[in-house]
């Protein structure tokens, strides 16, 4: 009988060629069988293995058969070698997996109906795919606390835990905060914290993500939505200059959670807790859904868009007419590249030459992701010609507002009153204050005319992170009320001043920006994809 095994492909000097379920694969030396299988398009089921963590080899779900090796081996820790013949679906492997599934479930409470993980739980997925469907276990299960408050934002259900130690390894290796450990032994082994040291680090939410089961849950998301209803919209976090890649878990026009999306060049598999909760501002901050005007009386009143733009333009025209020195703009580096590009062009058209981009800094750059720079698009502001964030320039403008030298101010996405940079009364005195923002900030309330913008998650646009990577944020939500993207508002505001450009979409704005800015040359939404792209020369 001829040998039915396919021939091995040639391998380079740093490579090995092997067969996995008769599929030939070539991988770098040192690659594990599990990853080699992945490269061959085969899934070796696994719980404890996580690409961002060290190998623990404890769940034993990835057992596979290797020709000429008597015992089953774990794919996650076994290095692929030249000529190796691996089989991932033999009767022996199947029996072993079925055994592991049974073992994992004998002490599991099977409380999927009340578990947040249901729908994205490895136990559910693998039991369906590899389990026997029934259990021979008839005795009393081991019982543990089910709502154990393990830290600031995380709840632990010890009965659901499969002791894969991913969460421990995350805290040891990634956050380096080392709060978690395995305590006790045998089937009484349990994950826990040390006395007086709860799970509380700036990255604790990642333990919930790495937990393959429903043992660790994120307090703000507990019982909020069934995961199968959520639509994951790929985006980038706007919490700081890192721009971690994320998914916005959306249901019924609401973001219910933000989770990290793997990008090895930006955030690997992680994100910080502050970023993870940043979407909450969308519902917690008061919005304004229609333009507001504050004529003679003190209270702002909603007015139609046409009228609001007209009034705002009139205010600015008057101020500009009184002397170019008497008008200024304060612009936010939290806006998208598209917003900033149109803002830059609009300011020129209106005749506002004095512009400052506001910095927002807090804490320090840390060892992992968090940046001191809390603006997600400082590089974008510089790129479009608005300049880098500059506290001195903001301060000068505001001093001139207080002294009366500046009589007209356009504030885009910033809140100098709320940030404590200027007393509300000084801004209220200003003859021409036009504010554009997504929420009803104190500055918005002080403005002569305030124009409502879309919030994060509602707009579509691009952010350039501190390393010079342009990344897309996709719109996950319908804009609230009559809110509009900033670039559209600015284009409308500048139109009476002769600004002629019309854009059909954010993508069109980006294309125009890319055509004029060498660092963006050749880029488009399509080329940015979901992982973003580095600026030319970055």
Q: Which of residues 106-145 bind another protein (CB under 8 A)?
A: 106-107, 136-140, 142
Kindly state whether residue 71 participates in binding another protein, applying the rule CB under 8 A.
Answer: yes
- Among 58, 124, 402, 480, which residue interacts with another protein (rule: CB under 8 A)? 58
Q: Which stretch binds another protein (CB under 8 A): 7-15, 177-185, 200-208, 339-347?
A: 177-185
Name the DSSP class of 245.
E
For 91-120, letters b (16+ CB in 10 Å) and e give eebeebbeebbbbbbebbbeeeeebbbbee
Kindly state whether residue 438 participates in binding ligand FES, applying the rule CB under 6 A.
Answer: no
* Residue 136 binding: pick among ligand FES, ligand SF4, another protein, none (C-beta 5-8 Å cut-off by kind): another protein
Nearest-CA neighbor of 342 among 474, 449, 436, 472? 436
What the block records as the tokens of 132 is 């026997």
Name the DSSP class of 170.
I
Reduced DSSP (H G I as helix, E B as strand, rest coil) percent helix, strand, coil of the chain, to 5: 30, 20, 50
Kindly state whether residue 47 participates in binding ligand FES, applying the rule CB under 6 A.
Answer: yes
- Among 22, 67, 187, 289, which residue interacts with another protein (rule: CB under 8 A)? 187
Kindly state whether residue 216 participates in binding ligand SF4, applying the rule CB under 6 A.
Answer: yes
Give me the numbers of helices (H) and strands (E) for the chain, helices first please: 16, 23
- Rounded to an integer, what distance in angstroms lies between the CA atom of residue 479 and that of residue 266? 28
Cβ at position 163, least distance to another protein in Å: 7
* Residue 10 binding: pick among another protein, ligand SF4, ligand FES, none (C-beta 5-8 Å cut-off by kind): none
CA 133 to chain centre: 37
- Rounded to an integer, what distance in angstroms lies between the CA atom of residue 98 and that of residue 412? 59
Q: Which stretch binds ligand SF4 (CB under 6 A): 156-164, 384-392, 434-442, 459-467?
A: 156-164
* Residue 107 binding: pick among ligand SF4, ligand FES, another protein, none (C-beta 5-8 Å cut-off by kind): another protein
Kindly state whether residue 150 participates in binding ligand FES, applying the rule CB under 6 A.
Answer: no
- Among 165, 204, 247, 441, which residue interacts with ligand SF4 (rule: CB under 6 A)? 165
Q: Which of residues 329-358 bind another protein (CB under 8 A)?
A: none
Kindly state whether residue 464 participates in binding ligand SF4, applying the rule CB under 6 A.
Answer: no
Nearest-CA neighbor of 464 among 375, 397, 386? 375
Q: Which residues pair with 347 in a beta bridge?
A: none
Kindly state whether residue 101 participates in binding ligand FES, applying the rule CB under 6 A.
Answer: no
Kindly state whether residue 59 participates in binding ligand SF4, applying the rule CB under 6 A.
Answer: no
* Residue 402 binding: pick among another protein, ligand FES, ligand SF4, none (C-beta 5-8 Å cut-off by kind): none
What the block records as the tokens of 96 is 């072993």
Q: Which stretch binds ligand SF4 (CB under 6 A): 85-93, 210-218, 405-413, 480-488?
A: 210-218
What the block records as the tokens of 189 is 């082994």
Kindly state whether residue 167 participates in binding ligand SF4, applying the rule CB under 6 A.
Answer: yes
Kindly state whether residue 191 participates in binding ligand SF4, applying the rule CB under 6 A.
Answer: yes
Strand residues in 240-314 grouped as ranges (E): 245-250, 255-260, 292-293, 301-302
* Residue 100 binding: pick among ligand FES, another protein, ligand SF4, none (C-beta 5-8 Å cut-off by kind): another protein
Kindly state whether residue 46 participates in binding ligand FES, applying the rule CB under 6 A.
Answer: yes
* Residue 62 binding: pick among ligand SF4, ligand FES, another protein, none (C-beta 5-8 Å cut-off by kind): ligand FES
Contact 349, 494 (CB under 8 A): yes
* Residue 213 binding: pick among another protein, ligand FES, ligand SF4, none (C-beta 5-8 Å cut-off by kind): ligand SF4
Cβ at position 54, least distance to ligand SF4 in Å: 14
What is the separation, in whole angstroms, between the first and last Cα of the chain?
A: 59
Measured CA to CA in angstroms, residue 254 lies from 207, 233, 239, 257, 480 at distances of: 24, 12, 19, 9, 11
Contact 246, 258 (CB under 8 A): yes
Q: Which residues pair with 423 in a beta bridge?
A: none
What the block records as the tokens of 310 is 């007209």
> Could you list the residues that contact ligand FES (CB under 6 A)?
46-49, 57-62, 74, 76
């Amino acid at each position: 009988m001829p040998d039915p095994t396919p021939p091995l492909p040639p391998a380079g000097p740093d490579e090995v060629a092997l067969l996995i379920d008769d599929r030939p694969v070539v991988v770098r030396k040192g690659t594990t069988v599990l990853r080699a299988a992945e490269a061959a398009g085969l899934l070796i089921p696994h719980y404890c293995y996580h690409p961002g963590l060290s190998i623990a080899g404890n769940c034993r779900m990835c057992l596979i058969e290797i020709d000429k090796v008597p015992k089953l081996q774990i794919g996650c820790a076994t290095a692929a070698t030249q000529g190796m013949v691996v089989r991932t679906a033999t009767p022996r492997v199947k029996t072993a997996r079925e055994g592991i599934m049974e073992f994992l479930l004998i002490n599991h409470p099977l409380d999927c109906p009340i578990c947040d993980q249901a729908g994205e739980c490895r136990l559910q997925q693998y039991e369906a795919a590899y389990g026997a469907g029934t259990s021979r276990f008839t005795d009393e299960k081991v019982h543990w606390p089910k709502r154990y408050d393990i830290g600031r934002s995380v709840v632990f259900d010890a009965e659901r835990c499969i002791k894969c130690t991913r969460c421990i390894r995350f805290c040891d290796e990634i956050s380096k905060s080392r709060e978690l450990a395995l305590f006790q032994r045998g089937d009484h082994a349990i994950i826990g914290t040390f006395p007086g040291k709860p799970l509380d680090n700036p990255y604790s939410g990642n333990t919930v993500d790495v937990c393959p089961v429903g043992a660790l849950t994120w307090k703000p998301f507990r019982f909020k939505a069934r995961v199968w209803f959520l639509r994951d919209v790929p985006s980038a976090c706007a919490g700081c200059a890192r721009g971690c890649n994320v998914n916005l878990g959306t249901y019924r026009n609401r973001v219910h959670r933000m989770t990290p999306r793997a990008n090895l060049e930006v955030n690997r598999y992680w994100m910080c807790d502050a970023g993870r909760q940043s979407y909450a501002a969308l519902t917690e901050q008061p919005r304004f859904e229609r333009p507001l005007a504050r004529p003679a009386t003190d209270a702002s009143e909603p007015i139609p868009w046409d009228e609001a733009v007209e009034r705002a333009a009139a205010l600015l025209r008057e101020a500009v007419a009184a002397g170019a020195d008497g008008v200024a703009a304060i612009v936010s580096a939290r806006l998208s590249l598209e917003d900033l590009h149109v803002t830059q062009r609009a300011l020129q058209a209106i005749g506002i030459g004095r512009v400052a981009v506001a910095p927002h800094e807090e804490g320090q750059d840390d060892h992992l992701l968090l940046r001191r720079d809390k603006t997600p698009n400082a590089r974008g502001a510089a790129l479009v010609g608005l300049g880098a964030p500059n506290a001195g320039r903001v301060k000068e403008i505001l001093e001139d507002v207080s002294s009366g030298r500046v009589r007209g101010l356009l504030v885009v996405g910033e809140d100098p009153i709320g940030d404590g940079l200027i007393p509300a009364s000084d801004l209220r005195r200003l003859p021409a204050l036009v504010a554009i923002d997504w929420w009803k900030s104190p500055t918005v309330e002080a403005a002569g005319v305030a124009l409502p913008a879309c919030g994060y998650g509602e707009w579509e646009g691009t952010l350039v992170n501190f390393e010079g990577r342009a990344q897309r944020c996709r719109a996950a939500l319908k804009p609230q009320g009559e809110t509009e993207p900033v670039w559209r508002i600015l284009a409308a505001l500048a139109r009476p001043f002769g600004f002629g450009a019309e854009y059909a979409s954010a993508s069109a704005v980006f294309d125009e920006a890319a055509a004029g800015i060498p660092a963006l040359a050749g880029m488009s939404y399509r080329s940015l994809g979901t992982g973003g792209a580095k600026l030319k020369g970055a």
